[in-house]
């Protein structure tokens, strides 16, 4: 996919027609939401793709001057990232793109902070980022200390004779403790852009952990800058957080191009800035997504050798067998996703040993992909639920619970689905009225252990800690009371390992991971 954005269309077209040798191109390589997916992994046909060694091969073939940039959520995620508090992420990002064409010589020029980067807490994150050789950019973060480094609102990079300004914008997460995000007004953005323009950059880039198309949490940035000069002074928006591919949206005729680069290092975006060699004016911005598959999946030997020292090789062993596809999204006739339901049941059984709980729930976005038929390895499970998400318990009234359940049922082209699955003792029935745009879902019945849920009764629920705090998909369940208890003994990923280890059978071939029986969330005609 190639998208071209022309700057000042009429003038650009004249320059384009007489381009000749006057063109000068600078490449920006953009990643986001890496989440510890360092290694190549098999696709549905068993062919390896993705990872840092494949990325390095692509970068080694670049002949234009380039910068490497990341929009956040790079420290927390897969087993190796979590075990090292993100140190392995920093090590790999410091050495990526080791070529004379890299403006830094080696490594990422800059990153911003994503919501999951704070999973380990701000103190541990600060220590980890103290070893990062690039810049940490965030115009809206406060109270975050990185030993030996300054967290800057923006930085200017000179490469190929051009000055490129990069502004950082971060997103908060439930792990933020000492640090916090400052709410920036339109006036704040105008002041910041005035400061940036004093550096006389030839191009301005916004590097944000924020999405132009995230249905779960609408952009906190775009509505604020809508009425400012950002649309004409920023040339490129590099976003993240939503794990989507998006490089076709442009903000007005001469506004910035929005580029989002997916997730988990399945690919990388290559954005080419085309400057006039005489006037140094930016003539166009074009974006291309480069999937790290096929020829682009070739492994750089030095990077592959480093990855081999980082890999937790115990994850290679099979734990069970998956006889049929277990999709991330639910099958027809049941709005409950199968994998999320298995985790919710295991969470219920685990927390019930700690305190009396009525039910448990687990969020669909926590499951990162479909689970294909075949042997189930430790790596498969680690990549299914990669985040450091701790189990917690909280109180919720029956009335609040039913309202939140209704708000969590969505509809797309394939049918209805719930953003949450619940432990096996929960049964939900609902009706969907598409004519009611504001509240299309009506819950007709909720039963827990066979008993109807009562509006005034307080129920004790188990979920990942950020759900009752109201983050992301947890917004409908946000509670105001202080009775949340967080158990930092178990993450959602560890619960999946617990469940699989408890399957019947003596060998991995005998342990079958299947979908739960029965319909948990049923739509009534």
Q: Given phi > 0 = left and psi -120 to 50 = alpha, else beta, which region is 22?
A: alpha
Statement to judge: residues 168 and 246 lie in one domain: yes
Residue 21: which domain range? Answer: 2-310
Statement to judge: residues 211 and 141 lie in one domain: yes
The residue-averaged pLDDT of 24-37 equals 95
In the 8-state DSSP scheme, what is residue 146? B
Domain boundary among the residues 276, 291, 310 is at 310
Q: Residue 507 has what pLDDT?
A: 96
How far is residue 81's CA from residue 408's CA, in Å, rounded to a whole number?
Answer: 30
Helix (H, G, I), strand (E, B) or coil at 155: strand
- The residue ranking higher by pLDDT, 377 or 330, is 377
> Among 514, 105, 106, which Cα is nearest to 338's?
514
Asked if residues 51 and 132 have their Cβ atoms less than 8 Å apart, the reply is no
Statement to judge: residues 357 and 277 lie in one domain: no
**Dihedral pair phi/psi, residue 64, rounded to 5°:** -90, 155
Which residues are CB-neighbours of 476 under 8 A, at least 6 positions away?
403, 404, 407, 408
- Lowest mean per-residue pLDDT among 218-232, 308-322, 454-468: 218-232
**Dihedral pair phi/psi, residue 110, rounded to 5°:** -160, 155
Give the pLDDT band of residue 104 (cuts 50, 70, 90).
Answer: very high
Number of domains within the chain: 2
In the 8-state DSSP scheme, what is residue 107? S
CATH at 61: 3.60.21.10
How far is residue 100's CA from residue 326's CA, in Å, rounded to a whole number?
Answer: 45
Give the pLDDT band of residue 10 (cuts 50, 70, 90).
Answer: very low
Helices (H), 76-169: 79-83, 87-95, 122-129
Evaluate if residue 6 carries a pLDDT over 60. Answer: no
The pTM score is: 0.85
Q: Residue 15 has what pLDDT?
A: 34
Domain boundary among the residues 264, 284, 310 is at 310
Statement to judge: residues 165 and 108 lie in one domain: yes
Helix (H, G, I), strand (E, B) or coil at 285: strand
What are the Cα distances from residue 68, in Å, to 217, 218, 395? 27, 27, 45
Statement to judge: residues 365 and 295 lie in one domain: no
Please give the share of the chain, as a percent, with pLDDT higher than 70: 95
Statement to judge: residues 503 and 381 lie in one domain: yes
Statement to judge: residues 277 and 403 lie in one domain: no
What are the Cα distances from residue 237, in Å, to 171, 255, 351? 15, 10, 43
Asked if residues 167 and 112 have their Cβ atoms less than 8 Å apart, the reply is no
Statement to judge: residues 472 and 454 lie in one domain: yes
Q: Residue 463 has what pLDDT?
A: 97
Statement to judge: residues 338 and 454 lie in one domain: yes
Statement to judge: residues 305 and 319 lie in one domain: no
> Among 451, 97, 443, 521, which Cα is nearest to 270's?
97
Statement to judge: residues 196 and 334 lie in one domain: no
Statement to judge: residues 294 and 323 lie in one domain: no
Domain boundary among the residues 280, 310, 340 is at 310
Mark 85-106 as b/e (b = at least 16 C-beta within 10 Å).
bbbbbbbbbbbbbbeebbbbeb
HSE, CB side, 13 Å, CA atoms: give it for residue 381: 27
Mark 9-22 as b/e (b = at least 16 C-beta within 10 Å).
eeebeebeeeeeee
Q: Residue 425 has what pLDDT?
A: 96
- Lowest mean per-residue pLDDT among 185-194, 239-248, 288-297, 302-311: 239-248
């Amino acid at each position: 996919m190639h998208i071209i954005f022309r700057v000042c269309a009429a003038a650009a077209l004249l320059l384009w027609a007489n381009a000749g040798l006057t063109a000068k191109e600078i490449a920006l390589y953009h990643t986001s939401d890496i989440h510890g997916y360092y290694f190549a992994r098999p696709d549905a046909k068993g062919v390896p793709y993705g990872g840092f060694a494949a990325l390095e091969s692509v970068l080694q073939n670049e002949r234009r001057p380039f910068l490497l940039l990341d929009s956040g959520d790079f420290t927390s995620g897969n087993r190796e990232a979590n075990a090292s508090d993100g140190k392995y992420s920093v090590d790999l990002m410091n050495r990526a793109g080791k070529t004379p064409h890299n403006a830094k010589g080696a490594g990422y020029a800059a990153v911003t902070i994503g919501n999951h980067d704070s999973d380990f807490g701000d103190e541990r994150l600060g220590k980890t980022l103290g070893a990062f050789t690039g810049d940490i950019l965030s115009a809206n973060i406060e109270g975050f200390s990185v030993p030996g480094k300054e967290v800057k609102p923006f930085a200017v990079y000179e490469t190929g004779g051009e000055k490129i300004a990069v502004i950082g914008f971060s997103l908060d997460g439930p792990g933020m403790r000492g640090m916090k995000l400052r709410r920036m007004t339109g006036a704040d953005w105008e002041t910041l852009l005035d400061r940036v323009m004093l550096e006389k950059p030839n191009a301005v880039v916004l590097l944000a952990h924020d999405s132009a198309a995230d249905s779960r949490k609408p952009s906190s940035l775009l509505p604020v800058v809508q009425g400012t000069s950002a649309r004409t002074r920023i040339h490129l928006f590099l976003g993240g957080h939503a794990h989507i591919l998006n490089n076709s949206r442009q903000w007005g005729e001469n506004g910035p191009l929005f580029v989002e680069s997916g997730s988990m290092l399945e690919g990388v975006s290559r954005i080419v800035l085309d400057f006039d060699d005489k006037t140094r004016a930016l003539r166009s911005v074009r974006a291309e997504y480069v999937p790290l598959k096929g020829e682009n999946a070739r492994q750089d030997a030095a990077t592959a050798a480093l990855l081999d020292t980082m890999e937790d090789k115990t994850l290679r062993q099979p734990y069970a067998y998956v006889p049929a596809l277990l999709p991330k999204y639910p099958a027809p006739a049941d709005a409950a996703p199968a994998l999320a339901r298995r985790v919710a049941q295991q969470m219920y059984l685990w927390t019930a040993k700690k305190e009396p709980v009525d039910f448990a729930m687990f969020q669909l976005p926590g499951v990162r992909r479909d689970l294909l038929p075949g042997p189930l390895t430790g790596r498969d499970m680690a990549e299914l639920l990669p985040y450091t998400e701790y189990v917690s318990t909280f109180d919720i009234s029956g009335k609040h619970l039913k309202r939140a359940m209704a708000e969590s049922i969505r509809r797309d082209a394939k049918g209805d689905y719930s953003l949450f699955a619940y432990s096996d003792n929960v049964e939900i029935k609902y009706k969907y009225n598409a004519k009611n745009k504001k509240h299309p879902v009506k819950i007709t019945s909720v039963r827990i252990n066979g008993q109807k849920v009562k509006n005034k009764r307080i129920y004790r629920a188990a979920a990942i800690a950020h759900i009752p705090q109201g983050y992301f998909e947890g917004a409908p369940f946000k509670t105001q009371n202080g009775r949340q208890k967080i158990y930092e003994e178990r993450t959602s990923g560890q619960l999946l390992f617990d469940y699989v280890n408890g399957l019947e059978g003596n060998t991995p071939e005998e342990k079958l991971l299947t979908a739960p029986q029965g319909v948990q969330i049923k739509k009534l005609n």
